Structure 1
Amino acid sequence: MAKLTLIQTNFTAGELSPRMLGRVDIARYQNGAKVIENAWPLVHGGVTRRNGTLFCAAAKFPDRRARLVPYVFNTEQAYMIEFGDFYIRIYYPNGGWTGVELASPYGQTMLAALEYVQGADTMFLFHGRVPIYRLKRISNTEWSLAPAPFVTTPFEERGMDFAFAMAITNPAAGAASTVTPGAPAFFISDVGREIWAGSGIARITAFGSSGSVSVLVINAFSQTLYPTWSLKGSPQTTCTASAFSPVGATVTLTLGAAGWRPEDVGKFVKLNGGLFQISGFTSSTVVNAVIRSIATSVVAAPAGAWSLEASVWNDFDGYPSTGTLYEQRLVAAGSPNYPQTIWESRTGEYLNFELGTKDDDAMSFNVSSDQINPIMHVGQVKALVTLTYGGEFTVTGGVEKPITPTNIQIKNQSVYGCNGVRPIRIGNELYFVQRAGRKLRAMAYKYDSDSYGSPDMSVLSEHATKSGVVDMAFQQEPESILFMVRSDGVMATMTVDRDQDVVGWARQVTDGAYESVAVIPSAEGDQVWAVVRRTVNGQNVRYLERFVPGTQVDCGINAFSAAGASVWGGLAHLEGKTVDVVADGVVLQPQVVTGGQITLPRNAFSVQIGLHFKTSITTLTPEVQGGTGSAQGNSMRIAEITLRFLETIGCSINGQVVAFRNMGNQVLDKSPALFTGVHRMENLGWERGEAVLTIEQDQPLPFHLLNVIKKVTFND
């Protein structure tokens, strides 16, 4: 029989996975715990009760999802935005609503895929089914949300899309067939162009009328009738400009045969080395256009020597689904029909995507790989980072060179893939959720190998993300914690400080389910907000709440009365719920909210009222190497424990309450004092077993555990 004194000096490894309970050989086992619930490890080593939440506001629709998005002009001017079902609401940092509500194009089913990037007072919003929108703050109470007013969007020779039906007589490959549209659609200059529908492709061989053409089927069509279809290429006839300069002048563009359509207004024409934008439709042979860049001559360009080009951002092809700001450019990427394409604006001109070859011109390029995996996110860590569903890429312009249209270098760094959760940059790492939603990876540059690695940050605590991560946000101050909302409503947190080798996971639960999380800065530190779904008075509700230091309840209120009061209101949002009450620093009996208020047995000057939550920490089975080997598998008994606390009031150990309060004169007239120091407990009659401790704080009071010292008896 051996007696040893063992100390656990820190909890910086956090809650370890049940799969790790046998790995007593790794260093993090000594710094971990079996359970850390409603608490979070701190970089300094201890573990503290998590902050409770204060009620901010009810979401507009209790039965529909909402998402939080931070709007940060600088560290002193920040707002929280509630994105809901086709609306947004804007809140001050203290939780108050500004009174601003704007209509938005995003329904509740679109919110999870919403991406955003902000520069100064302008936020760009991305979704594959909606044009890029711009949110601007004009004043605290005046905001605008509208499609971004782009000077030019990316364009290419993509033809024209038709929203009415098209029939083909013989869909087989190699067949000579006839195509009949549901409305007049063709010109004689369309001979030689291709018709695309589904997987089928046919080349027009002869013009019959505006409602009928002869075609040769190149790729077989799967059916004979299509509700929508496309006409690819440009009119196959000559094009002549009335003048080739100066830039900004209005000219006419004349075709040798009918080919212009009213829908061509706004499109671009590349002709004789110049660029023209069609500004007005005159007839099927003549349009007006503005010179965007000068041409070399006014000589008629034959068919195939000029092109009619249209924006690739449209309702048919979709719109960019993600974006960022990089090297003074607005970067947009990944539309539904261009899933691997990245577009970058002109340098310093976020609204100008006119493509060119000069160093400061806008550009477009594809992130190609062996699989067609859509771009999910773009970010930056030393380089422009592109995260796809199947891999991670970097885009550079070469060694220490900015990206230009002529020096693009794309490298595939890894093949993990990511899901739709917006990545977070922490220090010099980009944290992203792997495509299954279960693993958190940190992408960073490795100087020793001149490459980028993405290690799994959740490998020792894989259970913490078990249902999948659906949203995340990072709090930098006062504690460095990454908050991750799981699909089952649990909040997983990871305390992280790579310089101190701290990666500590924990789980946060509440009377309800977390659905969204976001962070904004404030003078006192970063504010963590959440959308929480709760059941109140038999109804599902959704509340905006924020984690506040010193708060020991959830969905709570802090209230004050100079004269003192026994009846406290402001609790309509918790109607019918049983709430914890801390009055003048003293915990009172739980109360049931009735009529939006509670009545205390005595007057109080300050109260904190809200939903109960319990903090629980369970230690791991101790390990020590002795003369006969490992202690694992042997009978163990803890004879005595010593716990070091910091500013703590109350807890229990394996169900036995720790006495923190020393009796003295008039002690019942005062709130309990915060305790800092050590507490020793012995002869508690614990049974032999794994020698684990369950330390709980079941009262709405502070709790901060620094270390645990055990005197353990081992019997082999």
Structure 2
Amino acid sequence: MSLKIYKQSIGGGEISPSMYSRITDPSYSAGLAKCRNMIVEPQGPVVRRPGFSMVRETKYPDRKCRLIPFTFSATQTMILEFGHHYVRFHTNGSTLMNGNVPYEVATDYDESELFDIDYAQSVDIITLVHCSHPPRELRRYGALDWRLVDITFNTSLTPPTGVTATQHILGSATYKDGYVRKYVVTSCNVDNTEESKASVAASVICNPYGDGAYNTITWNTVAGADHYRVYRDKGGIYGYIGETRTNSIDDDNIAPDSSITPPIYDDVFLTSGGISAAAVVAQGTGYTGPNGELLSVSLLESETWVLKGEGYDYGGKFKDAPMLGAYYDSKWNLMSSGDKYGYPVGWIPSNFMDYFTFSITVHDAEGSGVGAVVSPVKATMADWFDITPPDYYKPNPRVIGIRPLKGLTITQAGSGYKRPVITISITGWPTWSDAYDKITGVFEFYRYSGSFQASATSAGFMQSSINVTDATGSGAVLEPVFSQGKLTNVLIKNAGAGYSNPTATLISNYGSGAQISLTVANAGDYPGCVSYFEQRRWFAGSRMRPQYIWATKTGTETDMGYSLPSQSTDRIKVRVASQDSNRIRHIVPLSQLLMLTASGEWRVSPVNSDAITPESMSVRPQSYVGSSQTKPVLINNTMIFASARGGHLRELGYSYQAGGYITSDVCLRAAHLFDHHEVVDIAYAKAPYSIFWCVNDIGKLISFTYVPEQQVGAFAQHETQGDFESCAVVPESNEDILYVVTKRKIGENTVRFVERMNEYIIDKDEDYLFMDCAGTYSGPAKTDITGISWLNGMKVSILADGYCVPDQVVQNGKITLRRAASKVHIGLAYNSDIQTLPLALQLQDLSFGSNHRKNISGVVVRMIDSASILAGSSFDNLYQQPTRGRETPGTPPKKRNGEFEVDIAASWTDDGQVCIRQSAPLPLKISSITVTCDVV
């Protein structure tokens, strides 16, 4: 039975193999089994993702860094590269330079702390918070003038000095000294957003009720003050009696307003009894142990590759046949010389392993291991073995097999590995044929069974910790620092609180003799998240007070003052009462303020008021899912966040029916992209497509095309020759541009780059950039393209004036073209692949195609502004569509629009899938696929 099947949309993106039986699910009809290095457009087509241009190498190739966006306006945007103790700045694909070196600002954030930094931007200021550091502001004063400063959470105004109070009363008054009046004065700025602490009180003995009695209060001028407020003591509380722009005021028995009192300031992020210093008294010796080196590797399973041989001699002699390889007779006995008789099946070249390419990489699933290199142990001629062929090799049973990968060996041990994971891939589909006299030998390789799996173990680490004991205090976390086997420093990660006489003991499985002395004082207990909402700057989630929330006074960013009794504009300080003690990780401003912890989501809203005040504030739980440390992103009135466990992305939005905020898992249909992994970074691009980008812990980049109002949600995964480690998006020109940090192996060196994704909308063929870590030459036409030393030793893809040029290897930062070109792109190639889902057919036996063999005999693809493609029934058996039509010689091939047929070899399979690939540095956009399928 022959059928034509039209896949009208492929906009469902890549879906999980767990969904393959869910053929009635709406996503199945539009989904793909593989969508790699392709982006799903909201309208339904899939388009090849643009390549990445190299912006600059990071400062430290052996250390991770993180990208943070800075958007002052639509025309002033930057990407901030936060690395180990530095910040660099990139914009429009270039780095902000200070002469010949990148401009940078020094910080004290360690590499291990970068992805725990939370931030919020207000105009030219980015607020940075981390539980181990005081809150800071990164301020932009000019293009080459950025300053990182600590935040002072009280007023910059000083209280007036020299406050005096003098009585004025008529001389005939009988009683002049029956009362004592006390006064304090504060200084204020012009808009009343800052008010100083109260001055030292001034008192006067007086009779305020006498004839003509009044008191005059005077004080000295305060620099920066616009006016002053005066308060008088009444029942132990200083109430407001007036304000003035002069240096004096008369109190003619004004009734104090006790609802308005002088502000009180405290060190809001300090705790008493914290550990403020830790000194090394004795360094000890022997603190040296393993540092996560790769200890052993083992090949658990390896695919069998089957050699199918044909060709016979029927009794001839082989004395004239050269011994380039080895002959086997019809019983697979090795014939050691060319003059032996027998019935040979064919000829095997001695360099048969050269036809295979091995790729073996080592990742760290839990730690930050680097530098390990694992090499393959290849098979030799002696490793062939007889194999019983499956039925489809008959009637020729002369089949032998080989496992090309015999084992693994550690070439370089690296360091820092906690749970090393080995990824193995092998390519090569060799076919040899040769003829000598009457001998004809043809050998073909087929993959037969098994998979490539391996295990690895690390040498472990020297285990060390500092135990702090005390009768009263708790919460301190100290970290030892070793050098040459000695304790050289102690870092205070958490100061704790309540300590009176603490003792520190270094515990280690290697070394002894170290001693530590501790100093107790008021110590920092710093927030871990920050945001802006309702004219206040909000902080939350310190280590010692994990569920506390702080907010500045209304209309201010640094004023943490409060009054007694409290006022609606006072600072807010409240503890969220919950069942557990998980730290608040994120503050998210939507129509209401949301707080995310590792176990739940909370809403902060006013009660019986339009604004949040100290009296009206209410904190209510919304759901109990939990968020990871990865910073959430917003789209319209919805939030996307990474769940605390399971690695999935979740949506949180307001539901009128539920009367609150609800969450849902957006990854269910593509769970294979997220299961058992952690999302480490998320960014959101609004234009030209609404796409969330996220980077996971194994270096994959995942795109999520998301238009909730149109029920569009489609995933695709993106790979490169290396790993993705961080991502951020800023608007540039008419598009939102994605920047990434990549870790690549260039030659024998591990290098990290900041790279910028090219624009989607391209007007000229010569501007296409479909390669990674790329560089571009634009200028007078020439053949020698230089200045690409960052790709030395790498095989690169080349597009010259819109033409695909044969790949070259960069040597000494240079390539040479056969023909001069004026616009040349050079970078690392990548494949863009799509694979359709297993066919689901409405058959009379109600099987929907299950348990039926299928043969795809024809494929028609509707393309939009695309180059020629490769297509086939598998990625190992692709056929090239003609690359040129009737174009004028000497011009680039025209882009294709419309339906085009691709000739592929018919192949009977169980699933009837179609594979399409674009491997050249050219565009591809597919909106529909039609297949001709025979079913039995």
In the TM superposition, what is the alpha-carbon distance from 1:403 to its structure 2 partner? 0.8
Is the contact made by 1:57 and 1:543 (CA closer than 8 Å) also made in structure 2?
Answer: yes
State the partner residue of 1:333: 540
2 CA distance for matches of 1:41 and 1:622? Answer: 21
State the partner residue of 2:193: none
2 CA distance for matches of 1:437 and 1:484? Answer: 15
Look up the equivalent residue of 1:641 and give its one-letter code: V
Is the contact made by 2:40 and 2:46 (CA closer than 8 Å) also made in structure 1?
Answer: yes
State the partner residue of 2:280: none
State the partner residue of 2:45: 46
State the partner residue of 2:118: 115
State the partner residue of 2:827: 610
State the partner residue of 1:225: none
Is the contact made by 2:38 and 2:716 (CA closer than 8 Å) also made in structure 1?
Answer: yes
Change (3 A) 1:6 1:400: farther
Structure 1 residue 130 corresponds to structure 2 residue 340: no
Is the contact made by 1:431 and 1:440 (CA closer than 8 Å) also made in structure 2?
Answer: yes
Q: Deviations over 1:396-421 (max 9, x none)?
A: 00377211110111111111101100
Q: Which moves more between the two structures, 478-487 or 632-641?
A: 632-641
The correspondence of residues 564-713 of structure 1 with structure 2, limited to 5 A, is 564-629=781-846, 630-654=848-872, 655-663=878-886, 666-667=888-889, 669-681=890-902, 684-713=905-934
Look up the equivalent residue of 1:336 and give its one-letter code: R
Change (3 A) 1:672 1:556: same
State the partner residue of 2:595: 386
Is the contact made by 2:184 and 2:230 (CA closer than 8 Å) also made in structure 1?
Answer: no
Structure 1 residue 447 corresponds to structure 2 residue 645: no
State the partner residue of 2:256: none
Change (3 A) 1:309 1:60: closer
Is the contact made by 1:80 and 1:93 (CA closer than 8 Å) also made in structure 2?
Answer: no
1 CA distance for matches of 2:923 and 2:233? Answer: 74
| Aligned match for 2:234, one of 296, 301, 309 | 296
Q: Which moves more between the two structures, 15-24 or 308-317?
A: 308-317
In the TM superposition, what is the alpha-carbon distance from 1:683 to its structure 2 partner? 6.7
Task: For residue 885 of structure 2, give the secondary structure of its aligned residue in structure 1.
Answer: coil
Look up the equivalent residue of 2:186 and give its one-letter code: V
- Tell me how many residue pairs correspond in the alignment: 583
Is the contact made by 1:148 and 1:351 (CA closer than 8 Å) also made in structure 2?
Answer: yes
Q: Deviations over 1:558-606 (max 9, x none)?
A: 21232x1111012111111111011111111111111111111221121
2 CA distance for matches of 1:595 and 1:646? Answer: 39
Please, which runs of 5 or more residues in structure 1 have no aligned partner? Answer: 154-240, 254-289, 301-306
State the partner residue of 2:622: 413
State the partner residue of 2:776: 558
In the TM superposition, what is the alpha-carbon distance from 1:557 to its structure 2 partner? 1.2
The correspondence of residues 27-42 of structure 1 with structure 2, limited to 5 A, is 27-42=26-41
State the partner residue of 1:72: 71
The correspondence of residues 314-463 of structure 1 with structure 2, limited to 5 A, is 316-356=523-563, 357-398=566-607, 401-436=610-645, 438-463=647-672
2 CA distance for matches of 1:250 and 1:706? Answer: 74
The correspondence of residues 260-299 of structure 1 with structure 2, limited to 5 A, is 295-296=233-234
Is the contact made by 2:879 and 2:904 (CA closer than 8 Å) also made in structure 1?
Answer: no
1 CA distance for matches of 2:96 and 2:671? Answer: 38
4+ runs of 1 displaced by more than 6 Å? 290-294
Look up the equivalent residue of 2:640 and give its one-letter code: Y
| Aligned match for 1:104, one of 107, 110, 125 | 107
Look up the equivalent residue of 1:335 and give its one-letter code: S
Q: CA RMSD in A?
A: 2.4
Look up the equivalent residue of 1:312 and give its one-letter code: F
Look up the equivalent residue of 2:71 and give its one-letter code: V
Look up the equivalent residue of 2:895 and give its one-letter code: L
In the TM superposition, what is the alpha-carbon distance from 1:368 to its structure 2 partner? 1.8
Structure 1 residue 496 corresponds to structure 2 residue 706: yes
Q: Deviations over 1:308-335 (max 9, x none)?
A: 9653346535201001000111010101
Q: Deviations over 1:56-80 (max 9, x none)?
A: 0111111111111111111211111
In the TM superposition, what is the alpha-carbon distance from 1:463 to its structure 2 partner? 1.3
Task: For residue 245 of structure 1, give the secondary structure of its aligned residue in structure 2.
Answer: strand
Structure 1 residue 57 corresponds to structure 2 residue 56: yes
Look up the equivalent residue of 1:296 and give its one-letter code: K
Structure 1 residue 139 corresponds to structure 2 residue 142: yes
1 CA distance for matches of 2:181 and 2:808? Answer: 84
1 CA distance for matches of 2:538 and 2:10? Answer: 41
In the TM superposition, what is the alpha-carbon distance from 1:152 to its structure 2 partner? 5.7
Q: Deviations over 1:598-635 (max 9, x none)?
A: 11122112111000100111100121323321222222
Structure 1 residue 537 corresponds to structure 2 residue 747: yes
State the partner residue of 2:402: none
1 CA distance for matches of 2:933 and 2:610? Answer: 61
- TM-score normalized by structure 1? 0.78
Q: Deviations over 1:475-504 (max 9, x none)?
A: 111121111111111111111111221111
Identity of aligned residues (%): 27
Is the contact made by 1:131 and 1:313 (CA closer than 8 Å) also made in structure 2?
Answer: no
- TM-score normalized by structure 2? 0.60
Is the contact made by 1:437 and 1:469 (CA closer than 8 Å) also made in structure 2?
Answer: no
2 CA distance for matches of 1:358 and 1:294? Answer: 18
2 CA distance for matches of 1:245 and 1:355? Answer: 16
Task: For residue 455 of structure 1, give the secondary structure of its aligned residue in structure 2.
Answer: strand
1 CA distance for matches of 2:68 and 2:38? Answer: 25
Look up the equivalent residue of 1:37 and give its one-letter code: R
Change (3 A) 1:636 1:405: same
In the TM superposition, what is the alpha-carbon distance from 1:353 to its structure 2 partner? 1.2
Is the contact made by 2:879 and 2:903 (CA closer than 8 Å) also made in structure 1?
Answer: no
Is the contact made by 2:153 and 2:267 (CA closer than 8 Å) also made in structure 1?
Answer: no
Is the contact made by 1:250 and 1:291 (CA closer than 8 Å) also made in structure 2?
Answer: no
Task: For residue 88 of structure 2, give the secondary structure of its aligned residue in structure 1.
Answer: strand
